[in-house]
Chain A
Amino acid sequence: MLAVVGTVPDLDFPLTVGRVDMVENRLSIDGKHVPVNRGTPALLGAMVNTLKVLGPRDITGFIAGDIGLGHGSRSLYRYLVEKGSQIDFNTIVFHYLQPDVDWHNKIVFMLNDLKKKPLLIADAGFMYAAKMSGQAQFYDLFTPDVGELSFLADEAAPHPFYTRGFILHDDNKIPDLISRAYLHGNAAKNLLVKGATDFIADKSGVTFWVDSPIAEAMEAMGGTGDTITGIVTALAGTGMKIPKAAAIAAKVNRLAGFFANPTPATQVGEIIRHIPHALEKVLKESYGQ
């Protein structure tokens, strides 16, 4: 199962588990509809459009409404802890969830008890909890942006809000922050750092980077980090090795952004719309597929 665990900003959206589809730019999960916007819906939209090119494959969403009070996140954590051992996971991405170290650790225990460890990708709030727990290396991939990388690099910070200024400073080079995150065991086995240049790294350092095409306005757009996480998850979910999946995802996200010709006011749906075309082009030009 290709699973997505995350939240939507709607207090009335109940804990829902089901197949995710996209119909006329709206996500559908178990008969409930969600607009494709920033956050987990953007990630799901990017996955759906990536899989349109790669071939049909079900995405199972584990979704609950949460506006920051943590109720929806906790209902998801509880559900997975209680039922997770009966689910045949292949790949899981954990996304916009209230960071909670105790629940995070219970999830890790559940995953640890599975017969086969799924591919584990963490982003957003769940990545914060994974770092805070000291178990970042349990995960196969983190997808931080530059601000979040600074947090991973700061061994003392319990949340990006408390990242120390000398680490957050612009003069710090991203490869140095990556090294520092690995030095303190606060990075997953692989990193895809999203930014003006996208960096792919492991404990040996930066292994690949992508810096073109450039659509500078994407930095201001909400959800462009979620789309790249969605693309890499969909690619890795087909069995593709993470470094290759991350490189393709970075290229596709940038190209989809380039096709959208965005301004800082553009909304992420515009990028998601261009993902299939961008993916076809990247696969054809870079990999002859």
Chain B
Amino acid sequence: MFKLKLFKEKKQKDFSRAERGILVFENTSEVIQAQKLLLANDWKIRVMGPPPEIQSGCDLVIEFPLIQELNILRLLEKSGIDPVETVPVTDPLLQPVDLFHIKDFGRFLMIRAANMKITVEKRSRLIVNVSGGGCPDVPYLASILVGKTMAQAPNPLDIGHTLCGYALGLAFKEMQKKCLQW
């Protein structure tokens, strides 16, 4: 039998914080509307006071499972309740990745956002590969996107479910911009 030294109650609380995010809204009324909507859709959320780092928004925030950010934002957007800001609980100053790595293979162009990459054949705008990522919607999104043109393919932001899907959506958007330049 071997021993695990790392588990302490305090640390356990930190663990669960690491995968939570905060939705910040303009006003309390929006917080209440969003809370009703999310609870009605079985999301595990709770209304809390904001951390001191968040300077803007109202005096209530909604804590939610961060990995599901894309799903939750999509639901809120459909109902016209857009949060002002979405940030991780662990460090509310963190921002989603906005740095894109672009690699030109000549006939093909690859764009990486965070851990996700999309590659398109320039002439046909055909999506030839999707790679990277670790959440289970990545193979799912790849199976839908690969083999379609950028015009035919659904936006990963509309059909993805996790933060990997969100990152792929950002790479997809960047690729759409590039396509306009060819």
B-binding residues in A (CB < 8 A) = 7-9, 37-41, 66-70, 72-73, 96-102, 105, 108-109, 112-113, 115, 117, 123-129, 132-135, 138, 145, 147-148, 151, 156-165, 168-170, 216-217, 219-225, 263-265, 267
18 contacts between A and B (CB under 8 A): A41-B139, A67-B140, A96-B138, A99-B19, A101-B16, A102-B16, A129-B19, A133-B15, A134-B15, A134-B18, A147-B116, A147-B132, A160-B164, A161-B166, A162-B163, A217-B105, A220-B105, A222-B146
Q: A38-B142, A66-B136, A102-B16 are in contact. Are A222 and B110 (CB under 8 A)?
A: no
> How long is the Cα–Cα vector from A138 to B15 in the complex, in angstroms?
15
Q: Which residues of B are found within 8 Å of A158, using beta-carbon distances?
A: 18-19, 66, 88, 90, 94
How many residues of chain B get a CB closer than 8 Å to chain A's CBs?
A: 65
What residues of chain A lie closer than 8 Å to B143, measured between beta carbons?
9, 37
> How many angstroms from the CA of A134 to the CA of B131 in the assembled complex?
26
Q: Which of B97, B99, B112, B130 contacts A222 (CB 8 A)?
A: B130
Stretch at the interface among B4-12, B46-54, B77-85: B4-12
User: How far, in angstroms, from A285 to B19 measured CA to CA in the complex?
Assistant: 46
List B contacts of A70 (CB < 8 A): 67, 136
Are A145 and B139 also in contact (CB < 8 A) when A99-B134, A158-B88, A159-B67 are? Answer: no
Chain A residues with CB below 8 A from B114, complex form:
147, 151, 160-161, 163, 168
Is the pair A151, B15 in contact by a Cβ cutoff of 8 Å?
A: no
Is the pair A105, B15 in contact by a Cβ cutoff of 8 Å?
yes
Q: Are B136's CB and A117's CB within 8 A?
A: no
What's the minimum C-beta distance from B85 to chain A, rounded to whole angstroms? 13
Q: Establish whether residues A219 and B161, one from each chain, have CB atoms under 8 Å apart when the complex forms.
A: no
Q: Taking the nearest CB of chain A, how far is it from the CB of B80, in angstroms?
A: 24
Please measure, in the bound complex, the distance between the C-alpha atom of A217 and the C-alpha atom of B115, giving whole angstroms: 17
Please state if A125 and B12 are interface contacts (CB–CB under 8 Å).
no
**Smallest distance from the beta carbon of A100 to chain B beta carbons, Å?**
7
> Closest 9 interchain pairs by CB?
A68-B137, A68-B161, A124-B134, A39-B139, A265-B128, A9-B140, A147-B115, A160-B115, A66-B136
B61 within 8 Å of A (CB atoms): no
- Give the CA-CA distance A40 to B137 in the complex, in Å: 12
Are A264 and B135 closer than 8 Å at their CB atoms?
no
Distance in Å from the Cβ of B8 to the closest Cβ of chain A?
Answer: 10
Report the separation of the CA atoms of residues A115 and B139 in the bound assembly, to the nearest whole angstrom: 35
> CB-CB < 8 A to B97: which residues of A?
160-163, 165, 168
Q: Which residue of A lies closest to B161 (CB)?
A: A68
In the complex, per-residue mask of B8-32: 1 if CB is within 8 Å of any chain A CB, else 0: 0001101110110000000000000
Tell me the nearest residue of chain B to A40, going by C-beta.
Answer: B139
Selected from A96, A100, A112, A163, the residue in CB contact (under 8 A) with B2 is A112
Contact indicator A98/B4 (Cβ below 8 Å): no
Choice from B18, B88, B140 contacting A133 with Cβ under 8 Å: B18
Q: Are B95 and A162 in contact (CB under 8 A)?
A: yes
Known: A38-B142, A68-B140, A102-B15. A219 touches B103 (CB 8 A): yes
> Contact flags (1/0) for B101-118 with A, using CB distance below 8 Å?
101010110101011110
Do A7 and B112 touch across chains, with their CB atoms under 8 A apart?
Answer: no
- Contact status A99-B101, CB under 8 Å: no
Report chain B residues within 8 Å CB of A117.
Answer: 2
- The distance in angstroms between the C-alpha atoms of A235 and B130, with both chains bound, is 27
Residue of A whose beta carbon sits closest to that of B118:
A220
- Given A101-B15, A163-B114, A222-B129, 10 more contacts at CB 8 Å? A9-B143, A37-B139, A96-B138, A99-B67, A109-B4, A132-B15, A165-B97, A168-B99, A216-B105, A220-B103
CA distance A123 to B138 in the complex (A): 14
- Closest chain A residue to B94 by CB distance? A162
